């Protein structure tokens, strides 16, 4: 199949509806793109359906940790393209632990880089497209049916289907077994007090939260994402009361220490995080990324978790399909 860049929309109905893909991936985020890239690189015919008409900016930027860089390098994705596109290299990390000894530490080394989520998603989709994946934007998927032994997704048929739709339920009937983690974040433009190569994390910050929701793992972050842009936000282990009040308090305490002349670009927004299985364990498709609860938000682990999930799922699917062919 011919490869298409992410700039070219493939209109519904343009493809031969009788074509049977090896795999259809629903969702063109990090996990979906990695999975599609791996499958296409191994010779499979892969289609990605993305509900959005095009990638848009999100309030959550991306910290591509050194672990994430290593994972992408291992599958031959060159992340230097992201740096060339204006991302910020992170060479210093400030960690604040109130009451610790010392309370504040600054580590130096290579901690990856920060980028906007739009830049990251476009990069990942280009990698998948370059490997041969076809990508269709403006394709929300509401139902997945079985036709004989194939998955029927919108007008497309596939031997395998992968759900990579992020931290949200696909089936409204699914009952979640626990409460997911939560975050509030925004994007600002600002000058840097400590320099544009430092990411800051302030841990155990939850004095306004109900006592049983206070945790050392609750933390506030300030991350450079390129071109004088910064992603600031707070991670909550579990959603609870007073999160916005706590976020505003941390913002007033810590942002002025690290940034100057702060102006909001994308206002603070609340979002659930992929720390639990949103499929409820009943999804007939392969579930990956935040949708499958593969997110560990500590130290940028959300993105590395999505990458690992996409890699693991693609290897499992390749093994399953190879076994079928062998039989």
Give the full edge-to-edge strand order of the sheet including 104-108.
104-108, 92-96, 198-203, 219-226, 229-236, 182-192, 259-272
pLDDT tens digit sequence for 246-287: 999 999 999 998 999 999 999 999 998 888 889 887 778 999
pLDDT tens digit sequence for 76-123: 998 888 888 789 999 999 999 988 888 899 999 999 999 999 999 999
Supply 16's token pair.
């031969």
pLDDT at residue 11 greater than cutoff 50 = no
- What's the pLDDT score for residue 297? 66
Residue with tokens 């999100």: 58
pLDDT tens digit sequence for 14-35: 455 568 999 999 999 999 999 9
- Tell me the average pLDDT across 67-80: 93
More confident residue, 5 or 200: 200
pLDDT at residue 206 greater than cutoff 70 = yes
- What's the pLDDT score for residue 8? 36
pLDDT at residue 134 greater than cutoff 90 = yes
Helices (H), the chain: 30-41, 66-74, 80-84, 117-130, 243-250, 256-258, 301-326
Domain boundaries, the chain: 1-57+116-173+274-327, 62-114+181-272
- Tell me the average pLDDT across 179-192: 93
pLDDT at residue 9 greater than cutoff 70 = no
- What's the pLDDT score for residue 60? 78
Q: In angstroms, rounded to a whole number, what is the distance separating the alpha carbons of residues 218 and 118?
A: 26
**Alpha-carbon dihedral angle through residues 89, 165, 23, 296, given to the nearest 10 degrees:** 50
pLDDT at residue 296 greater than cutoff 80 = no
- Tell me the average pLDDT across 169-185: 88
Neighbours of 145 (CB within 10 A): 9
pLDDT at residue 327 greater than cutoff 50 = no
pLDDT at residue 161 greater than cutoff 90 = yes
- What's the pLDDT score for residue 312? 96
pLDDT tens digit sequence for 213-230: 998 889 999 999 998 999
Cα dist. 28→23, 129, 132, 241, 320 in Å?
Answer: 14, 11, 14, 33, 23
More confident residue, 127 or 301: 127
Mean pLDDT, the chain, rounded, equals 88
- What's the pLDDT score for residue 284? 81
Confidence of residue 301 (pLDDT cuts 50, 70, 90): low
- Tell me the average pLDDT across 183-198: 93
Confidence of residue 288 (pLDDT cuts 50, 70, 90): very high
- CATH 3.30.9.100 given to domain 62-114+181-272: yes
CATH number of this structure's domain 1-57+116-173+274-327: 3.50.50.60
């Amino acid at each position: 199949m011919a490869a298409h860049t992410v700039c070219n929309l493939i209109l519904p109905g343009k493809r031969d509806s009788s074509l049977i893909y090896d795999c259809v991936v629903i969702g063109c985020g990090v996990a979906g793109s990695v999975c599609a890239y791996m499958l296409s690189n191994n010779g499979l015919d892969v289609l990605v359906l993305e509900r959005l008409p095009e990638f848009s900016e999100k309030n959550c930027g991306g910290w591509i940790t050194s672990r994430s860089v290593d994972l992408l390098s291992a599958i031959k994705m060159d992340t230097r393209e992201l740096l060339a596109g204006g991302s910020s290299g992170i060479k210093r990390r400030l960690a604040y632990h109130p009451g610790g000894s010392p309370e504040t530490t600054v580590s130096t080394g290579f901690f990856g880089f920060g980028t906007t989520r739009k830049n990251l998603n476009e990069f990942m989709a280009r990698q998948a497209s370059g490997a041969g994946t076809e990508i269709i934007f403006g394709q929300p998927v509401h139902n997945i049916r079985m036709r004989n032994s194939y998955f029927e997704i919108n007008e497309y048929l596939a031997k395998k289907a992968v759900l990579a739709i992020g931290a949200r339920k696909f089936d409204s009937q699914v009952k979640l077994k626990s409460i997911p983690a939560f975050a509030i974040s925004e994007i600002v433009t600002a000058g840097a007090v400590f320099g544009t190569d430092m990411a800051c994390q302030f841990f155990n910050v939850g004095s306004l939260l109900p006592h049983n929701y206070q945790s050392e793992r609750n933390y506030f972050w300030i991350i450079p994402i390129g071109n004088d842009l910064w992603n600031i936000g707070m991670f909550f282990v579990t959603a609870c009361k007073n999160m916005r009040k706590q976020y505003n308090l941390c913002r007033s305490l810590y942002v002025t220490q690290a940034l100057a002349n702060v102006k909001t670009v994308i206002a603070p927004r609340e979002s659930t995080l992929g720390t639990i299985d949103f499929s409820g364990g009943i999804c007939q498709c392969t579930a990956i990324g935040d949708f499958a609860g593969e997110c560990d938000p500590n130290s940028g682990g959300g993105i590395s978790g999505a990458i690992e999930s996409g890699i693991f799922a693609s290897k499992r699917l390749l093994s399953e399909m190879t076994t079928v062919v062998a039989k």
